[in-house]
């Protein structure tokens, strides 16, 4: 009991990463395509926390081990797909990314269910998911 308490206090000192960049870079996906406001809004609310250089940190992110898990998600998410860097991807990769976006949403893998569970605000309704996928599908035809 005492040991786990000490451990819990101890891990609070693990340094956290900070993924913050308020200015939207010129390489952001909104500078590649003309994205409908609604779709962009959904992306920013429900995807950008892990797939951009700007995370909107919830209150519990100040507590370990929550932050460690979150940092890990952000790191992996950005490596896989960074909407802030979308313009820098080759056309071939842009197409790959869009295909993966569609199938990940379609299969219910994104947004990560546990993350959506913790954040009411990032949960995406089935209709909104359809709208996002529909828009991305139009980009595959370009």
Footprint of other proteins on this chain (CB under 8 A)? 90-93, 95-96, 99-100, 103
Closer Cβ to other proteins, 42 or 102, answer by number: 102
Q: What b/e string do you get for 34-50 counting C-beta neighbours within 10 Å, with b at 16 or more?
A: ebeeebbebbbbbbbbb
Q: What angle do CA 19, 23, 29 make, to 5 degrees?
A: 90
What minimum distance in Å lies between the beta carbon of 45 and other proteins?
26
- Please check whether residue 115 is in contact with residue 139, taking contact to mean a CB–CB distance below 8 angstroms: no
Dihedral class, residue 108 (left if φ above 0, else alpha if ψ from -120 to 50, else beta): left
What minimum distance in Å lies between the beta carbon of 41 and other proteins?
27
Closer Cβ to other proteins, 42 or 81, answer by number: 81
What minimum distance in Å lies between the beta carbon of 98 and other proteins?
11
Quick one: tokens of 100?
Answer: 């993966």
Closer Cβ to other proteins, 20 or 93, answer by number: 93
What minimum distance in Å lies between the beta carbon of 33 and other proteins?
17
Closer Cβ to other proteins, 96 or 138, answer by number: 96
């Amino acid at each position: 009991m005492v040991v786990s308490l000490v451990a819990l206090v101890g891990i609070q000192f693990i340094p956290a990463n900070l993924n913050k960049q308020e200015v939207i870079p010129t390489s952001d996906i909104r500078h590649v395509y003309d994205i409908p406001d609604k779709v962009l809004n959904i992306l920013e609310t429900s995807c950008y926390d892990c797939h951009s250089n700007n995370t909107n940190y919830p209150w519990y992110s100040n507590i370990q081990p929550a932050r460690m898990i979150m940092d890990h998600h952000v790191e992996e998410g950005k490596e896989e797909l960074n909407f802030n860097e979308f313009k820098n991807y080759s056309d071939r990769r842009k197409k790959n990314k869009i295909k993966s976006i569609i199938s990940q949403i379609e299969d219910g893998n994104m947004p990560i269910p546990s993350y959506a569970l913790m954040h009411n605000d990032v949960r995406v309704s089935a209709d909104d998911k359809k709208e996002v996928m529909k828009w991305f599908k139009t980009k595959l035809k370009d």
